[in-house]
Structure 1
Amino acid sequence: MPGIRSLATSRLLLVALVWTISLSATYGEPRLRVATYNLRNYLCMDRVVEGEFRVDYPKPEAEKERIRQTILSVRPDILVVQEIGGDAMLEELQLDLAREGLRYHHRYVLVADDSTRMLGALWKEELQVQPVPHVDLEFSLFGEQRKVKRGLLELQISAPGQELLSLFTLHLKSKYTSDKRDYQSEERRAREAEAARDRILDRCPNFSESRLLLMGDLNDYRSSAPLRRFLSKGDEQLFSILEAKDESGLVWTHFYRKDAAYTLIDYILVSPGFEETYAPRSGIHQDPDFFAGSDHRLVWVDLSLN
């Protein structure tokens, strides 16, 4: 990872002080909170609103309010999101959160092959974050070259005086498909995961010594082929799943209303040695009215900076 940008001594000391005070006041000790959240179509699309079909209609205000309440309850220092409709939509969320007391000074949207449902990130002023887009990831499926639809977003994260970690986020293909050759898009998701994993290994050749987080909506189960692609390659052990639970001890992150099914498809994965370095504490935000904003629940992790 690149070194921290050079700053004037006075500026460095001031920002370092603000950073320490901010985290200590929030958590009682210097910790960095990172979260992932699928916002469920925070974009313009054809939808039914209050029983009426609307064409190219934005996410309803009541859903946006519930999204904000969730984020305000967790107050992450870095938030990565899925299913954002572009920079204007992320800016709207950024400004609305600021009006309600949570200020993110920076944002980034990854424009990949899917220009409708995109990846995005928000982070606070005290952090130094360098976004690295990966929109050229390709794989072969049924003899055709395809792209990882929503790309892979890398965030190189540092703070004054500290090189911290690299955060990778992605949103794998959903199970919805019209291709009868690939039931529930399982093969496509596995290929997307493999392409993303191989890019991460290219970026971090000393994987076992790297401090890496992989977060996002992987759209599959713990034992599935896409998840296994991230856990190992041949005999090499790669990421491990960081266990997250809500206040009731439940681990599900997604509710599929049609089948009344609760599943775990949003994950935090960590590289070897990560837990020893950062003593992470993780959780899933619990809200009985979560579905009013999204069909996913927000997942977070606190990292010790001692």
Structure 2
Amino acid sequence: MRLAVYNVENLFDRAKAMNLGTWAQGREVLEQFAALNRLLGQIRYRPSDKTKMAKLIVDLGMAASDTGPFVLLRRNRGGLLKRPKGGGVEIVAEGRADWVGSLELRDEPIDEQAMRNTARVINDLGADVLGVVEAENRPVLSAFNGQILPAIGGDAFRQVMVIDGNDDRGIDVGLLTREGFRIGTMRSHVDDRLPNGETVFSRDCPEFEITTPDGARLVVLVNHLKSKGYGGKASSDARRKAQATQVGEIYRRLLKEGVKHIAVIGDLNDTPDSAPLAPLITGTTLKDAFTHPAFDDGGYPGTYGACNASNKIDYLLLSPALYATVQAGGVLRTGMWPGVRPRKWETFPELTRPEDAGSDHAAVWVDLDL
């Protein structure tokens, strides 16, 4: 069987802020959005909270309307704010119970060619079990599977599963499987908590139990750990380390339960030698597929962007018993922008500009004798 993972970077829609001209611009909008969301979710609003909320609403372009260029404030019932004739914003609610609504990021469609190149990568992978990162939700992933894959000449997967995670930007993790590779028991970890009460996972760390046509049992944990891009470095590293630690605990529990074939896959947003990933990389018996003698990295050690060693952030981590079944493995980069001076790797003919890339990430795969 072939097991693979691919960060699809959303399929149909993506937050407009994430498509801004520069990474720094998008980061600023997303950080403002996150800060305002945290303040709006508080049980009681202190005067200082109200001042911060009013400023953030203005900074996000909603001084005159609930619809900003990148963010939408939905107010269904109750009173949250007023906009005085003299300008500005005044928060009138005393807490979260005083109004019903939500703060949402505005989306825009993904470029059609980019979406088709995403489908071409998935088709060329030929995976029996495919973990996906940054899928909007199950209906979207199911529509992509049933409509876009066949449109480029591919075959749709038999099962499609996404469990809604903790990220309100529409960034979830999921799994697709072919006929005969049945998804059985599923377990979500969206409600795992840190000692301070915060959720551990930025998205989720779902456990998917797969049964192969020959009756072998495999448990796949799909992950997307905290990125380096948003928030301070110290806090991001600490969050990623806490997530890696929790994934390690889940892995050890599965081993104690007698599960031999376990795969931890996904975008872990850090390098193998990083301190945040140490609890998972060196703190468990998991083995990185990249280190297997039968694995071919295509001449580049990374999986993201320019694919340098510092861009090695996508993983297939395998339990010893599963690692022992590896027959071959590799990295598929044909849907990534290859640069121009010189082009680093071959791509689809349809990929003629960076905007046409199926993803900034490569797909990673292994063939397993199960």
Q: TM-score, normalised by structure 1?
A: 0.76
Q: Which residue of 2 aligns with 1:215?
A: 265
Q: Which residue of 1 aligns with 2:365?
A: 300
Residue 178 to residue 213, structure 1, CA distance change in 2 (3 Å) = closer
* Residues 1:267 and 2:322 are matched in the alignment: no
* Residues 1:245 and 2:296 are matched in the alignment: yes
User: How far apart, in 2, do the equivalents of 1:160 and 1:181 lie?
Assistant: 45
Q: Which residue of 1 aligns with 2:191?
A: 136
Specify the code of the residue in structure 2 equivalent to 1:138: R
SS in 2 for 1:112: coil
1:181 Cα shift? 4.8
Q: Which residue of 1 aligns with 2:99?
A: none
Residue 181 to residue 163, structure 1, CA distance change in 2 (3 Å) = closer
Q: Which residue of 2 aligns with 1:124?
A: 178
* Residues 1:98 and 2:153 are matched in the alignment: no
SS in 1 for 2:209: strand
Specify the code of the residue in structure 1 equivalent to 2:189: H
Residue 213 to residue 280, structure 1, CA distance change in 2 (3 Å) = farther
Aligned match for 2:112, one of 51, 54, 61: 61
Aligned match for 1:170, one of 216, 223, 241: 223
- Provide the alpha-carbon RMSD of the alignment: 2.6
Specify the code of the residue in structure 2 equivalent to 1:187: A
Q: How does 1:99-114 map to 2 (within 5 A)?
A: 99=151, 100-114=153-167
User: How far apart, in 2, do the equivalents of 1:255 and 1:169 lie?
Assistant: 21
Q: Which residue of 2 aligns with 1:16?
A: none
1:172 Cα shift? 0.2
User: How far apart, in 2, do the equivalents of 1:262 and 1:63 lie?
Assistant: 25
Q: Which residue of 2 aligns with 1:283?
A: 330
SS in 2 for 1:146: coil
User: How far apart, in 2, do the equivalents of 1:172 and 1:265 lie?
Assistant: 10
Larger Rg: 2
User: How far apart, in 1, do the equivalents of 2:226 and 2:271 lie?
Assistant: 13
SS in 2 for 1:145: coil
Residue 256 to residue 160, structure 1, CA distance change in 2 (3 Å) = closer
* Residues 1:153 and 2:203 are matched in the alignment: no
Q: Which residue of 1 aligns with 2:125?
A: 74
Residues 98 and 104 in structure 1, CA contact (< 8 A), matched pair in contact too:
no
SS in 2 for 1:254: coil
Paired positions, count: 260
* Residues 1:46 and 2:16 are matched in the alignment: yes
1:160 Cα shift? 3.7
SS in 1 for 2:359: coil
SS in 2 for 1:268: strand
User: How far apart, in 2, do the equivalents of 1:160 and 1:298 lie?
Assistant: 24
1:262 Cα shift? 6.1
Residues 193 and 229 in structure 1, CA contact (< 8 A), matched pair in contact too:
yes
Structure 1 segments unaligned to the other structure (5+ residues): 1-31
1:60 Cα shift? 1.6
Residues 251 and 284 in structure 1, CA contact (< 8 A), matched pair in contact too:
no
Residue 147 to residue 101, structure 1, CA distance change in 2 (3 Å) = same
User: How far apart, in 2, do the equivalents of 1:280 and 1:189 lie?
Assistant: 31
User: How far apart, in 2, do the equivalents of 1:49 and 1:178 lie?
Assistant: 18
User: How far apart, in 2, do the equivalents of 1:76 and 1:303 lie?
Assistant: 11
1:275 Cα shift? 2.9
Residue 180 to residue 266, structure 1, CA distance change in 2 (3 Å) = closer
Specify the code of the residue in structure 2 equivalent to 1:284: V
Which has a greater percent of strand? Answer: 1
User: How far apart, in 2, do the equivalents of 1:68 and 1:241 lie?
Assistant: 26
Q: Which residue of 1 aligns with 2:305?
A: 255
User: How far apart, in 2, do the equivalents of 1:187 and 1:300 lie?
Assistant: 29
**Percent identity of paired positions between Structure 1 and Structure 2:** 27
Q: Which residue of 2 aligns with 1:27?
A: none
1:133 Cα shift? 2.1
1:63 Cα shift? 0.9
SS in 1 for 2:296: coil
Specify the code of the residue in structure 2 equivalent to 1:239: L
List per-residue Cα deviations over 1:37-70 (Å, max 9, x = no partner): 00123334215599xx885212221110110111
Residues 166 and 190 in structure 2, CA contact (< 8 A), matched pair in contact too:
yes
1:180 Cα shift? 6.5
